[in-house]
Amino acid sequence: MKKTVLLTAGLAVVIAAGAYIFAENSSREGANPDASIDTAALKQMVQDYSSRSLTAESASISSTQLIVKETDGKSASYSLPEDEFFVSIAPYVTKTHPCATHSLTGCQGEMPEQDFSVSVQDAEGNQVMDKQTIQSQPNGFIDLWLPRDKTYNVTIEQDGKKAVSEISTFEQNDTCVTTMQLG
């Protein structure tokens, strides 16, 4: 009988402590350390921030997370797919900006809503994308989801001008490429 009472009391303490910790973590200014979302919904959210159809105080994307801070102070982070890497490229002719971690709500490229021919080839010579016409977002960036942990040669062309760059999709790599000058 004593064992049952002690076991029940111990279980009640564990449940109460768990509830306290959960409530404490939930009340931190709406912080959501890692929201759960499926890959299609995550990619759509990234697309919506890039196209400016979804707004927030800030939305940035690292090699592993999408981090969103709403205007009401709430924030959330979403893990990116384990097998795909997001990279955003701003081709330019005359002006650019230095960048490493892409801000979906802050970075602005020189050439918004323009068509480009984009080719991507992996280090083994496999064509991932072959002269596909892609329109840059309203922010002037071309967003790509590429397989992780590889190196690629990217070629962007427009009106007889061309930029070629090597990019990699390892965890330590940048998600914002602003060095591809068309010439």
Helix H or strand E segment including 100: none
pLDDT score recorded for residue 36: 76
pLDDT score recorded for residue 1: 46
Interacting residues of 124 by C-beta distance below 8 A, sequence separation 6+: none
Of residues 26 and 175, more confidence is placed in 175
Which tokens hold the place of 112?
């918004």
DSSP string covering 121-176, please?
EETTS-EEEEEEEEEPPTTS-EEEEEESS-EEEEEEEETTEEEEEEEE-STTS-SE
Q: What is the pLDDT of residues 35-64, one digit of tens each?
A: 679 999 999 999 999 999 999 999 999 999
State the sign of the Cα–Cα–Cα–Cα dihedral 139, 63, 100, 96: negative
- Where is average pLDDT lowest: 22-31, 47-56, 145-154? 22-31
Of residues 22 and 89, more confidence is placed in 89
pLDDT score recorded for residue 34: 57
What percentage of the chain exceeds 70 in pLDDT?
A: 81
pLDDT score recorded for residue 102: 98
* Over residues 11-33, mean pLDDT: 36
What's the rounded Cα separation, in Å, for the pair 134 and 136?
Answer: 6
Does 28 have pLDDT greater than 60?
no
* Over residues 122-145, mean pLDDT: 97
pLDDT score recorded for residue 31: 43
* Over residues 79-90, mean pLDDT: 97
Does 15 have pLDDT greater than 70?
no
Of residues 1 and 25, more confidence is placed in 1
Does 140 have pLDDT greater than 50?
yes
pLDDT score recorded for residue 18: 36
Does 129 have pLDDT greater than 90?
yes
